Structure formats: C-alpha cells, structure tokens
C-alpha cells in the first residue's frame, strides 16, 4: 500500500483511501513530530488500521505517534458494533489499561526540598519496580484476586487502601463494568497474583513534580493546581496479567478470523467481531485487566500517601486517574448520525471528553483532566478535553518515542545520563540504570512541540 501523506490544515495530515482502506487516515501532529526514522512503520500502520471491518470516520494518530504492534502507539479507531465492527487487541496493546494518575500534595516546593532526600529514600525502599518484580499486596488466594479483577480501585478502597473521594476522581469510578474473570486464563492469574501494587519496568514511573507554569488560572484553581505546588504522577498498568491476556486472546481470535471472513494486511491486526464469542470474551478479560491496573495504581498511590505523611507531614489528594490503553463501548455522533454503539480503541491515547457524566461536579465544567507525561528531563502537561474533537474525544498520552531502545543504548551511557539529569536537578532512583538509558530524554519527542 502506497502511503501518501498530504497536509490537510494546521497540525493535520491525511492519508487518502487506497487499496483495502475503508476510511482515510488522519495524523494530528505538527510536521516536526511526524515519524522520521527510516524504518518506522507507524504511518503504514495508520493505513492498515483503516482496513478493519466496521471502522468509521477515520483511522487517527495522535502527535506522539510511533511504531507499535498492529496499531501505532498513539492510534485511535472506532468500529460500529451493529455493522460488523471488530475489536482488535492490537488497538489496546499488551499493557491493558496502562494509565496515569496525578495526586496533588498539601505542600509547596520550597517546604519540600529540605525533606526531599528522606522522602526519596523511603519511596526508593518501598516502591516495587523493575521487570518481574512482586507487588505491595498479595491477594489471599484466587478468590481475592478475582475481587481485584472485578472491583479494581473500588475494591482496593473497600479494603482500606484509599478514601471514597478517590473513586470520584477515577475514570469509570475506579472499575470497568462487565469484567469476566472466567475469560482470564490460569497463566494470567499466576502472573498477576504476585504483582498487585507494582510499577513494572520500561517507561513506568512514580515521579515527584512541581507546577512550573499555569496557562488557565480558573481551570487550574478548579483542579487544585497552583505554581510551585508539589504533585505525584504515577504511570503503570496491568503488568504480566494484561500481557498474558493479550497473548491468549490473540491466539483465540487468530484461529477464528477465516471463519468470519476477515482479512487484514498485517497479522498483528488480529481481530474478531465485537458481538462474536471471541470478541465478547476479550472484552470481558480486557475489563478484568483494566481493573487490575486501576487497583495497581490505587495501591501505589496509597503507599505514596503513607510515605508523604511520615516524611513531610503532608497529605496527597487524587486529581484524576485515566487509562491510555483501552477499548470502550461508547456512543458518539458520527457525521450527524447517532451511532448506537462504537467500539473505540485507544492505544497510547487517552479519553478526553469536554465533559462527562462520570466527572465530579467540580471538574465537569472544565472537561476531563488529561495528563501528558514528558520525560525525566522535560515537563509533563495537565490539559482538559475540549469540544470539536473529531478523534472520538481522544488525546495524546505522552511525548512519544523517536529512538528505539537499542538506539538509546548506542547513543548514550549511564554515566552521560547521570550527568545530564544531575545537571538538570533531577534525582533518579532506578531499579537498573540499563532500563533508565532506554528512557533517556533524547529518546523521546519534544513534548513542548506537541502540547495544545
């Protein structure tokens, strides 16, 4: 398939329909954030996604677009359930319901700085992180793990890990409905049982931040943000459980695609009709993994609260928690017609509605909080959803990679990175410096170029 990218307005490029594409591709990014690595196939993936049965409007890509598995990272696509729409695990990713939560501290930067070394030491000793590492909480057998998969952050709060207000500040109230633990295989349960309350590896993190600049005073006040306020950002997902669910259901769908008469240009776009047994099985298992991820972030946040109280005497309030690897059944107006049910895939993209009935009263007038993490050496951004978002009320989820992890190791070293971060006043407590090299600031796009 020949990919021809045409400028179609400010920060908007279009891939015209060709071959088996059912809709055009649309890339929402400035020129400087488009993929430019010679071997990067992200734009081809945007076109490939446009061939999925039942897809409507367009195959979208956010400013942080880069090469992923099946879908590009930063990919958004919706399929019409009533007209043969499919669900594709590649549109969710291995780390189901990976997401970000932001907590605001009852302390400003100047007051925290003298206590920062002690705070970092205590967080360093408490927070499980790294490949395969176990978690803060060990469910008492399968029955309790099933409760985590059904109840997510709600169950964690019921068990004393948080406060009821936390759930008002979580997408879906802290738990996705329709989780079906019977669709979660034994190997996935084995992998998840020891990892509840852990960050994991790669670009997952717990980061202490301060508010540097406020662009909208009224909105920031409603969000509880002000210049120099200390915040805690947590980024993690469903760990090995989500990875195993992805693998198990891809195999199940792959064996049935021919029966449904589905052909895709990339085997990584394995899919099944949403209303098929395979599609519903994946939705149920995916929801269970999403709840694992929400409980995971809730437990980590509760642990961070305890450390903050002990080290600084300050509390932490949850601003919001939102996923950026999920498929959801939603209702949207499409070209003037009300679609009764769309399956909206967001992979490396986050829900960003201008207002949503699930939002608490204090936030609804301003739109849902959207978090765009930067790198260890660059700023993160807090934004809100706005009207007129044609990409099914979706937004980018981070800075987006420009270097592969292999290239990051070729281009820099632990010593160089330590010096760079120390010069920027950034303290890092990694499980392994090798993994930190892969997340060097230079390995990512300039987040300042993609904000807005």
- State the Cα torsion 274-280-284-286 to the nearest 10°: -40
Say how far apart CA 56 and CA 342 lie, in whole Å.
9
End-to-end alpha-carbon separation of the chain, Å?
32
For residue 403 the two structure tokens come to 């270097």
Phi/psi of residue 62, nearest 5 degrees? -85, 170
| Number of residues assigned to the chain | 452
For residue 210 the two structure tokens come to 């301060």
Which of these is catalytic: 204, 397, 406, 409? 397
Residue 397 a catalytic site member? yes
- SS3 for the chain is CCCCEEECCCCCEEECCCCCCCCCEEECCCHHHCCCCCCCCHHHHHHHHCCCCCEEEEEEEEEEEECCCCCCEEEEEEEEHHHCCEECHHHCCCCCCCEEEEEEEEEEHHHHHHHHHHHHHHHHHHCCCCCCCCCCCCCCCHHHHHHHHHHHHHHHHHCCCCCHHHHHCEHHHHCCCCCCHHHCCHHHHHHHHCCCCCCCCCCCEEEEEECCCCCCHHHHHHHCCCCCEEEEEEEECCHHHHHHHHHHHHHHHHCCCCCCCCCCCCHHHCCEECCCHHHHHHHHHHHHHHHHHHHHHHHHHHHHHHHHHHHHCCCEEEEEEEECEEEEEEEEEECCEEEEEEEEEEECEEECCCCCCCCCCCCHHHCCEEEECCCCCCCCEEEECCCCCCCCCEEECCCCECCCHHHHHHHCCHHHHHHHHHHCCCCCCCCCHHHHHCCCHHHECCHHHHCC
Say how far apart CA 18 and CA 46 lie, in whole Å.
12
Q: Which residues are catalytic?
A: 397
């Amino acid at each position: 398939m020949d990919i021809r990218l045409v400028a179609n307005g400010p920060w908007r490029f279009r891939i015209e329909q060709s071959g088996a594409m059912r809709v055009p591709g649309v890339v929402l990014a400035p020129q400087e954030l488009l993929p430019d690595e010679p071997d990067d196939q992200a734009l081809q993936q945007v076109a490939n996604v446009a061939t999925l049965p039942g897809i409507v409007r367009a195959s979208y890509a956010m400013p942080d677009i880069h090469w992923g598995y099946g879908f590009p990272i930063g990919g958004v696509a919706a399929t019409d359930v009533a007209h043969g729409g499919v669900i594709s695990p590649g549109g969710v990713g291995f780390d189901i319901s990976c997401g970000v939560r932001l907590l605001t501290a009852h302390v400003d930067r100047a007051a925290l700085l003298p206590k920062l070394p002690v705070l970092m030491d205590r967080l360093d000793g408490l927070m499980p992180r790294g490949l395969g590492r176990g978690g803060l909480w060990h469910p008492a057998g399968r029955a309790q793990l099933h409760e985590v998969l059904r109840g997510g952050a709600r169950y964690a709060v019921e068990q004393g890990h948080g406060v009821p207000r936390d759930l008002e500040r979580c997408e879906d109230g802290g738990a996705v409905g329709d989780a079906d633990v019977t669709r979660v295989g034994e190997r996935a349960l084995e992998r998840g049982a020891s990892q509840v309350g852990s960050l994991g590896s790669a670009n997952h993190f717990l980061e202490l931040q301060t508010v540097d600049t406020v662009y909208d005073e009224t909105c920031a006040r409603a969000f509880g943000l002000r210049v120099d306020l200390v915040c805690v950002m947590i980024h993690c997902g469903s760990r090995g459980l989500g990875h195993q669910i992805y693998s198990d259901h891809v195999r199940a769908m792959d064996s049935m695609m021919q029966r449904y008469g589905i052909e895709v240009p990339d085997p990584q776009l394995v899919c099944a009709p949403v209303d098929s047994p395979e599609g519903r099985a994946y939705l149920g298992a995916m929801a269970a993994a999403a709840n694992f991820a929400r409980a995971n972030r809730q437990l980590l946040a509760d642990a961070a609260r305890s450390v903050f109280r002990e080290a600084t005497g300050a509390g932490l309030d949850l601003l919001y928690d939102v996923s950026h690897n999920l498929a959801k059944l939603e209702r949207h107006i499409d070209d003037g017609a009300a679609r009764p049910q769309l399956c909206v895939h967001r992979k490396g993209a986050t829900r960003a509605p201008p207002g949503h009935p699930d939002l608490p009263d204090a936030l609804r007038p301003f739109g849902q909080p959207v978090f765009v993490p930067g790198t260890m050496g660059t700023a993160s951004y807090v934004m809100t959803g706005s009207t007129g978002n044609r990409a099914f009320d979706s937004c980018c989820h981070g800075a987006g990679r420009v270097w592969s992890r292999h290239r990051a190791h070729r281009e820099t070293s632990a010593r160089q990175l330590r010096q760079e971060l120390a010069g920027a006043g950034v303290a890092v407590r990694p499980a392994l410096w090798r993994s930190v090299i892969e997340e060097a600031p230079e390995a990512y796009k300039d987040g300042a170029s993609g904000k807005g």
